[in-house]
Amino acid sequence: MIIALIIFAAHLNVKVGPTTVVSSKEEIIPKPSYEHVLTSVHLSLDSLELEDRSVWTIAPPDAYIVPSWQRGDKVILTPHYSWFSIYKFDYSLSNIDRGNYIRVNFASHPCDYQKTARWIINHDPHSNRVFLSDGSSWQIHPDDAPLFKNWTVNDFLIYGKNDWIFGTYPFLLINGRLGHCVRAIEF
């Protein structure tokens, strides 16, 4: 089967690699990624926006880091683990290009559904599976099933990275309506 796909891709003059999939419509569809692109930072350094038009509140002690960040920088959302902080920020936003990170909280999602946004088109709470507008399908970690049961069609989702060292579910799906995340693996 893999050989047939490679031959098919070669026939179409398409490169098949770990980040692309050849669809039946003879087009290349990028695989989901937890990498995001910074599109803007608010002048007061209290919030920023990503390519999917999600807005994130910046932890005040981290505001001094943000002026070095540039539009177009690649960033990754991960859970923020902190026991000794007066600030409650759920996520870390790591800047791959600059080599630093800030603590953030989800603030808002776009009101319109555009190409770079992702939302639920179908979900099955009994099998812990969700299907998104970008064509991806996800299996939710069994321990996160109670959170997943409250999700609905058209909920806006943001990809993040599950950086737990023993994690077998490498992605986080962050629900914009409910403000929480679940661990997931693409299937």
pLDDT range class, residue 105, cuts 50, 70, 90: very high
**71 and 43 within one domain:** yes
- CA within 13 Å, CB half, 34: 23
Q: Which two tokens stand for residue 86?
A: 């007066």
Mean pLDDT estimate for the chain:
83
Phi-psi region of 72 (alpha: psi -120 to 50; beta: other; left: phi over 0): left
Rounded percentage of the chain residues whose pLDDT exceeds 90: 61
Confidence (pLDDT) at 20? 39
Q: Which two tokens stand for residue 153?
A: 């069609």
Backbone angles phi, psi at 103, to 5 degrees: -95, 140
Q: Looking at residues 12-26, what average pLDDT do you find?
A: 40
**pLDDT (tens digit, 9 = 90+) per residue, 51-103?**
988 999 999 999 999 999 999 999 999 998 776 666 788 899 999 999 999 99
Confidence (pLDDT) at 163? 85
Cβ atoms 56, 158 nearer than 8 A: no
Cβ atoms 109, 145 nearer than 8 A: no
Domain that holds residue 7: 1-31
Is 124 buried (19+), middle (13-18) or exposed (0-12) by CB count in 10 A?
exposed
Q: How many distinct structural domains can be found in the chain?
A: 3
Q: Look at residue 14 and tell me whether its pLDDT is greater than 60.
A: no
In a domain, 113, yes or no: no
**101 and 39 within one domain:** yes
**39 and 24 within one domain:** no
Q: Look at residue 113 and tell me whether its pLDDT is greater than 70.
A: no
End-of-domain residue from the set 66, 90, 108: 108
